[in-house]
Structure 1
C-alpha cells in the first residue's frame, strides 16, 4: 500500500489552490530547526521531524548543529552497522516498527532514517551510521527499516543522496565519480529504494557531485524521480548552497528554517520572472501531501515499551559477530571470570553526532556478570597506567576466563570528522598483551563502529564483536558469550589489515574516486589483498555443510545442513564473480537460515539478466563466461557454477582492467575513464564567497589567519576540526542574519570598515557558545 494514499494526494491537490503565493514560499523553508510549516487555517498542523538512525533524537528545547544539546529520553537501538551484521531484514523491519512507535509517542511525523551511503573506506567517520560496503545489503536493510517505520504511518527519510562518503570537508567537498561507479555502487541503494519502497522523503547530501552541489543538482534529482521516487526531497541541515537553483532543480524543503530570508528571496525571484508559479507548485505539492497524511492519521497502535526493548535486544544479539574462537574459549561455561576495562561499566553503545540518542537506560556488563571480578585496566579514553595494568593482571590470575571489554573511544569516531587510524588506543593493546602473557583463556569483547587493528589477535583465544549495540546490547552480548544465544552476526564490511587499506583519496575540497568500482571486498578480493576478516565472515557455535549443488538453466540450488550439536544460523551468500576485464565480485543474494542439529534447508536462486549486467555508458550484458559462487563469506566459496551469455563486447580503459592496478592509478587514467578532464578544487582565494572555510583563511593573509585562529580557539578541538571545513553559509542555519554574513565576507575581502559596521559579534559568540 502507498504511504500517501490516492485520496490524500487528491486532497493535497485541492488544497494547493487555496494557498497564497506567500504561504507556498513559506512552506519551502522549515518553520524552525525541526518543524516543517503547517497551514493552521486549513487544519494542517506543523510537522515535526527528528533524527533517528539509532533511535529518536527529538530536541524540544535548544537545537544545535553539533548534536550537543540534550534530546528527550528514548531507546537507543543498535547502530546501523550492527543492524547490517544481522543479515536479517525481517528483524530490521521490526526495529523500524519500534522506532516508529517512539515517534508516535512523541508526536514526531518523520524520522531521518535510514542512511544507506556506501562505506567507501574503513576510516569514514560516519560509517557506524551506514549499513555496508555492499549496495545490496544497504538496499535490503534500508528498505526493511523503511517498511517498518512507515507501516505505522510515520514517514521515513532515506539519506544522504548521494556520495556523502566522507566527513572531511563534507559541506564543500566535490565527489568526483565516474559513471560506472555511480551506477553500480553509489546510486544503487537510492534508486532501488526509490523504486521499491514508496519512501516518503529523501535527504540530499551536503557535498558536490562532479562539481554541482547535490541540493541543486537537477540531473541527480531527476534521476531519483526517474527511478520511481515520488516523495519529498529535503536538504540536509544547512546543505543549501544556492536557494533558487536548489528549488529550480527539484528540492522541496530547505532545512532548517530560522528566518524569512528564503521566503523573501523566492518571492523576489517570482516577481522578477526568474522562477515560475508552476515550479513553485511542483515544489510545494509533495510537502502538502505529507501534511495531509499526518493530519488524517487516526490514533495509531504503537508497540509497547517492553516489546520495543525486546526488539532492540534481539537486534543487538543477532548482530554480534564471533571473529575468533579457539580451544573452546567460547561460550563461557564457568562463573570464574574477570572483567577488565572501563567499558564494562561505561559501555560504548552508539556513535556521536546528530544520531546520538539520550538513552532511557544503559545496561552494564558488570551488572550482568555480577559474579565476576572487575579490574579497570584502562579508562574510557583507552589510557592505562602501571597500577591499573598490574591490578588487571593480578585479578586475571584468579579466574578461569578473562573477558577484556575493549572499545574505540567515543571521541575517536563521530559525525563531522574521519578517523585517522585503524589503531585502538595503545593503553588497551598493552593491557590485553600483558594479560595474555600470563593467562591462556583471554576473550576480547570489542565495541566500535568500524574496523580496528588487533595486534594481539594471535595472543587471545576469542574475539566477539558487538559493534554498537544500543541500550540493551550488554545483556545481548552476555547471552552470546555464555552460549544462551547463537553468535549469528556476519560482517557487512571488510576488516583490512593496517597498511593494506584500499588506497582511496579523500581531499577536503575534492575527492577523486579514482578506484572506481574497486571498493570494499570488490577491491580486496579482486586484488588478492590479505585482510584481517573478509566481507560476510562470522563464526558460529555450530557447523554447517553445503551439498547437492545443481543447476537447471539459470536456476541454481543446493542444500545446507547443520552438522553440529546445537541450533545455529548460517548466512548463505551468492555472488557473481567474472574474470572479465573491469568486472568485480558482486553479491546477488543472501539468506539467513536458522537450523536445528541435523536439520537442512534447500536454497534455490534464479540468476536474472540484471544480476549479470554491468554499466558501460548504459546497462549491458557482456559476452562471456560468468561465475556464480555459493559461499559463507566473500572468500569462503563452497561451489562455483559457470554460465555463458551471448552478450556484447565492451572496451575498457587498460589501467582499469584489474583491481590489482588500483594503487598505481593516476589522474590521467581516471580522466580517461571519466571521458573528461578532472579539475580538483583548490583553496579559495579573494574575493571570498559564502563557501569560504577556515582552512581557506589559514592559507590567506595576516587578517584572515588571525580571524581563523581566533574562531578555532573558541571551540573544543574536535568541533574545531569540523568548523575548519564548514563554509560561512552554515551561519544561516544558526540564525545569523544575512547582514552579519555579508559583513564577515566584507571583512575577509578587505573592506574592514564596511564589514565591521554590519557584523553582529554578540550573535556570533552566542552561536559558538551554544554549540560547544
Structure 2
C-alpha cells in the first residue's frame, strides 16, 4: 500500500525538524531507498540503476526491464532527438517501477579502451558526450523522474577504483573531463549528481570541495542533490562540508552517530547539516510533484511502441565500417546463409555490473537474421566457430522449475556433498536465472548472520556427449548433478573477479549428458564468516551468490573446422564475434583490446574460404582487427539492448540504412592509445594514475601525433552517398556566439541519414598549444534519395576557449579560427573561417 504525501514546506521543516531526524536523512535507508520520516511528511525516495535500463529495486529476481543499447551504442547514433525519446521511455519505465531517480546517464570520458565500464560512457569527445547526456536528461526528467549524472569526475578505470588518485592537470580536467558535466548542466538542468569513487588530485570526489561546491554549485549554479556512488563515502564532516548530501547505500557507515560526534566536537554545525537536508527535501518535493507512488509495486513495460523504439535504437547503434564489395545490404536472394560465432547465438544486450539487468526479452543476432532470411526464402545454418566467453554460458535456456531455498541453521560438514537432502526451507523463492546475486530481495534480517542456501533446477540436455559445467560463488559452494558432486568450490575456492570482484574464480568439470534427458542441478552455498575477505559492500559478507554455467565440450580446432565447413557451402557468411559481460564489466578492466580466445583465427579461416563474408564485431569499446585488410565487409555493433538481433538484421538486409558514427577512435593497436603508459595496472605510480596525455585523448591524440587509426572518430558508412556544400559562417558576437550553415545532399539512390559534424581549429599563433581540431557541434538529418537540406547549428564561446591555469578561468582567444564540416573527423569537405575580435575571460556556463 502506498502513502500519499503533500508538498513540503522546506524552510519550515528545516526550522522544526529535530537534529536526529536531519542526521538520519543524510544517508540511505537501504540499498535502493533514501531515508524517510513519515511523521514529518517526508517520503522515501526510490532509486534504480541505469543507465541503459531500469532494473528496479532488486538485483536478484527483479522485475524484467527493457534494455536499451549501452551508452557507446547510443553515442554512435549522434542523434539527440532519438536519445531524448529514449530518455522519455526510461522515464515511463521508472514510473512503472516506482523509481523517482534513475542512476544515469554516465558521461565520463573514455580515456582508454581498457576501462571496464567504458561501454557505460557515450564516447571520447566532451561535446558529443555532453549534448547526448543533456538530451537523455531532458527526456527522462520530462516524465518527472530525476536523472543522476555520474560519475563525477575522472572515473575512468576500475583498478583500485575506491582509492586510486586521478592526477590530472586543471586544463585537462576542465576541457575534457568536467566539460560534458558542465554541458549537461547548461543544456538540461539535471536534478541530481553522483560522485565517483576515486580521488581527484589527492582528494576523494565525495569530499572534494573544489568539485562539489566551488565548481558544481557556485560556478555552474547547480541547485540539485549530490549523492555518493555506492560505498563511495570515506569521511564524515569533510563530505558534509564539501557538499555531499546523501551517503548511499544504507544503512549508513560514515554518517549517523558519527555525525553527532562530529557535531559535538564542533567540526560541523547545524548550518552544514541544513544545507544538505535542504537539497534532500527539494528532491523529495520533485518526487511528490511527479505523482510517482512511494513504496509502489514494480511492473514491467512491454508495449509495441517500446519494442519499436528499442529496435530503432539498436539499428542506430550500428556502424558500417567497410563495404568494399557492396556485399551489404544482403541482396540477390542467397539460398544459404551461414551464421557463425558465439555472439550470434548468445545475445549480448549490455556490458556487466550495475548496468546489467533481466531483460523483458532479448533477440539474438541469430534470431534476427533467421527471421529476416525467411522473407527472402534463404536457409540459415549456425556454427559457434570459437568461444567468446570467459565464463561458461548460464544454464538458463535449458532449465525449468528453478528455485532458491534458505536455511537458518549452519551447515554440517556433509552439507556440501551429502547426496540426500530433506531439510525444510525457512524461506524460498522461484527464480528464472542460474546467476543469483542475492544482495537484495532476501530477508537476511530473519535468516541470521550466515544462512545456508540451496539452488535447484531441472535441466534437459539438447546435446548428447561431453559437457563442460562450471560454478562460481560469493561464498563456499558445490555443484551437484543428480546428487553427485561434480564441482567443488569450498576447499579449492580462490578469489576471482565475479560479483564485483567479491566472488571466486570459476571452477569447471566435465560430465556426460544424454540428449533429451532431464537432470537435477543443485548448488549448495554457505558463507563462512571466518573466511570472508572484507570488501566495500558490507552486505556481501553474508549474501549468497553463485552462477552456474554449462556448454557442450568442443576443442578449438573442431569448432573452427565445423564453422569453416559451413562457410564453404554458404552463399553469404555472417560472422558475429566480439566481447561480452565476461570481458567488459564494472569491477575490473580489460587486459587488452584483442577479441577473446581463438576468435581472430576463426575470422581469418572463414575469410579464406568465403569471400562473401560479413564480419560483425560486437563490443562496448574498441577491439583490434588484425584481419581487417582481408575483410571486405565489417560492421561494428555495440551492445544493442533487447532488440540487438533485429536491429542488426535490419541493417544487414537493408530495411534500415546504417547511419551510426564511431563515438570512439578505434586504434590499430593498443600502444597507439595516449593512455597506454599510464592506465590502471600499467601505471608506474602505485596508487595514482597520471593523466600525462593532458587534453590529447582520442582523435586529439591521433591528430597531433599523426597516427593513422584503424577507424577514426565520427566515422561511419552508408548504403547511399552524401555531399556537403554551401558553407556559411556568421560573424562572432562579442560573447563568442556564431552560427554555421551548410547543405547536405543525398547523392545516392537510397534514403538515409547523415551526421553533419562541425570542427574548429584554433589560430596557430597567439595561443597555447591546442588540439589540431575539436568537435563543436553536430546535427543528424534524414534525407530521401536526391533530397537536400540546409543545416544550421549554433556554436557558443566554448569553441574559442581553452582553460588558462594561470588565470584560473576560460580564455576565449582573439584571432581567426578555421571551421571545417563533414561526415567524419577525417573527411571534412568544407572549410571556412570565423574571427573573434577580442580576447575575453569567463567562468560558469
**Shift in alpha-carbon separation, 1:345–1:304, aligned structure 2, 3 A:** closer
Distance 1:284 1:381 in 2: 47
Contact 1:444–1:462 (8 Å) recurs in 2: yes
Q: Establish whether residue 243 from structure 1 lines up as the match of residue 241 from structure 2.
A: no
Equivalent runs, 1:4-19 vs 2, <5 Å: 11-19=9-17
Contact 2:367–2:645 (8 Å) recurs in 1: no
3-state DSSP class of the match of 1:280?
helix
Give CA-to-partner distance per residue, 1:375-427, whole Å, 9 cap, x none.
12122428962222111111112211100010114211111222111111241
Count of residue correspondences: 636
Match of 2:147 in 1: 156
**Shift in alpha-carbon separation, 1:643–1:168, aligned structure 2, 3 A:** same
Match of 2:131 in 1: 140
Q: Establish whether residue 224 from structure 1 lines up as the match of residue 216 from structure 2.
A: yes
Contact 2:386–2:597 (8 Å) recurs in 1: no
Q: Establish whether residue 583 from structure 1 lines up as the match of residue 770 from structure 2.
A: yes
Contact 2:100–2:292 (8 Å) recurs in 1: no
Unmatched runs of 5 consecutive residues or more in structure 1: 1-6, 64-68, 651-772
Equivalent runs, 1:293-312 vs 2, <5 Å: 293-298=286-291, 305-312=303-310
Quote the offset at 1:483 in angstroms. 0.3
1:597 pairs with one of 769, 781, 785:
785
3-state DSSP class of the match of 1:495?
coil
Quote the offset at 1:643 in angstroms. 3.2
Distance 2:672 2:174 in 1: 27
Match of 2:201 in 1: 210
Q: Calculate the TM-score normalised by the size of structure 1.
A: 0.79
3-state DSSP class of the match of 2:777?
strand
3-state DSSP class of the match of 1:73?
coil
Quote the offset at 1:260 in angstroms. 7.3
Equivalent runs, 1:258-277 vs 2, <5 Å: 258-259=251-252, 262-277=255-270
Equivalent runs, 1:380-395 vs 2, <5 Å: 380-381=388-389, 385-395=556-566
3-state DSSP class of the match of 2:826?
coil
Distance 1:50 1:25 in 2: 23
3-state DSSP class of the match of 1:548?
strand
**Shift in alpha-carbon separation, 1:579–1:296, aligned structure 2, 3 A:** closer
Match of 2:741 in 1: 557
Moved more, 247-256 or 604-613: 604-613
Match of 1:379 in 2: 387
Quote the offset at 1:298 in angstroms. 3.0
1:126 pairs with one of 114, 117, 126:
117
3-state DSSP class of the match of 1:525?
helix
Give CA-to-partner distance per residue, 1:734-760, whole Å, 9 cap, x none.
xxxxxxxxxxxxxxxxxxxxxxxxxxx
Contact 2:119–2:620 (8 Å) recurs in 1: yes
Quote the offset at 1:607 in angstroms. 4.7
Quote the offset at 1:316 in angstroms. 1.0
Distance 1:208 1:623 in 2: 36
Structure with greater strand percent: 2
Contact 2:663–2:714 (8 Å) recurs in 1: yes
Distance 1:302 1:360 in 2: 7
Match of 1:674 in 2: none
Q: Establish whether residue 627 from structure 1 lines up as the match of residue 799 from structure 2.
A: no
Quote the offset at 1:327 in angstroms. 1.1
Quote the offset at 1:647 in angstroms. 4.5
Q: Calculate the TM-score normalised by the size of structure 2.
A: 0.73
Quote the offset at 1:578 in angstroms. 2.6
Distance 2:840 2:26 in 1: 48
Contact 1:195–1:229 (8 Å) recurs in 2: no
Quote the offset at 1:308 in angstroms. 1.9
3-state DSSP class of the match of 2:277?
helix
Distance 2:285 2:811 in 1: 42
Equivalent runs, 1:577-726 vs 2, <5 Å: 577-578=761-762, 580=764, 581-584=768-771, 585-605=773-793, 607-617=795-805, 618-647=809-838
3-state DSSP class of the match of 1:22?
helix
Give CA-to-partner distance per residue, 1:262-320, whole Å, 9 cap, x none.
21111122223221111111110111122233234336999863222221211111111
Contact 1:114–1:158 (8 Å) recurs in 2: yes
Distance 1:151 1:557 in 2: 30
Match of 1:337 in 2: 337
Quote the offset at 1:537 in angstroms. 0.2
Give CA-to-partner distance per residue, 1:333-366, whole Å, 9 cap, x none.
2342100112221022100011111112111222
Distance 1:543 1:73 in 2: 41
Structure with greater helix percent: 1
Give CA-to-partner distance per residue, 1:116-171, whole Å, 9 cap, x none.
00111121111100001111111111111111111111111000111101111111
CA RMSD of aligned residues (A): 2.1
